[in-house]
């Protein structure tokens, strides 16, 4: 009887550890690495050169700085990415905390939301990329002359 309880306990412990490792593998698959994001973005927009890449904390969204001042955004949906080239004037960025940005896209085909980054530096960098994709003259349309 004693050995039966020990064997059943070991079997149960094995099942628990197996389930734990499976859930960790699924989390890693959900957030693919930035290398795959670069390849997929290059496939979607072959004429755009990528200068820098920042991944969100959950590794499900990747923001890309492009060569001509534009920005790109990719969101993981399972094993696929939804790629978006951010055109000037089509994004609204606001702070949602020290490491978080609330981003809204004017193009309803791409989902906006609140994105959390590893640190404040990455959040600030992405916000500058996105602000750089604004039309330069759009900020001065409602400006009043000083004096």
The CATH number covering residue 84 comes to: 2.30.29
In a domain, 64, yes or no: yes
How far are the Cα atoms of 44, 65, 131, 138 from residue 124, in angstroms, in the given order?
26, 13, 10, 21
Q: Is residue 119 part of a domain?
A: yes
Q: How many domains does one find in the chain?
A: 1
Q: pLDDT band at 141, cuts 50/70/90?
A: very low
pLDDT at residue number 100: 92
pLDDT at 146 over 60: no
Residue ranges making up the domain that contains 86: 34-135
Domain annotation covers residue 67: yes
The larger pLDDT score, comparing residue 28 to residue 14, is at: 14
Residue 25, domain member (yes or no):
no
Position 144 in a domain: no
pLDDT, one tens digit per residue, over 32-63 is: 567 777 888 888 999 988 888 998 988 888 99
Q: What is the pLDDT of residue 140?
A: 44
| Residue 29 domain flag | no
Share of the chain above pLDDT 70, in %: 79
Can you give the pTM of this predicted structure? 0.66
Residue 97 lies in a domain: yes
Query: What is the percent of the chain where pLDDT is above 90?
Result: 5
Q: Is residue 147 part of a domain?
A: no
């Amino acid at each position: 009887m004693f050995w039966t309880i020990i064997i059943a306990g070991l079997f149960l412990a094995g099942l628990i550890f197996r389930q734990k490792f499976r859930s960790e593998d699924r989390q890693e698959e959900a957030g693919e690495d930035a290398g795959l994001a670069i390849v997929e973005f290059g496939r979607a927009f072959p004429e755009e050169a990528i200068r820098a890449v920042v991944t969100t904390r959950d590794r499900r969204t990747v923001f890309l700085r492009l060569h001509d001042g534009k920005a790109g955004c990719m969101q993981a949906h399972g094993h696929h990415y939804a790629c978006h080239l951010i055109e000037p004037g089509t994004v609204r960025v606001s702070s949602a905390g020290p490491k978080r940005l609330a981003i809204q896209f004017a193009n309803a085909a791409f989902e906006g939301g609140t994105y959390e980054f590893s640190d404040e530096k990455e959040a600030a960098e992405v916000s500058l990329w996105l602000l750089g994709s604004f039309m330069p003259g759009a900020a001065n349309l409602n400006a009043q002359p000083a004096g």
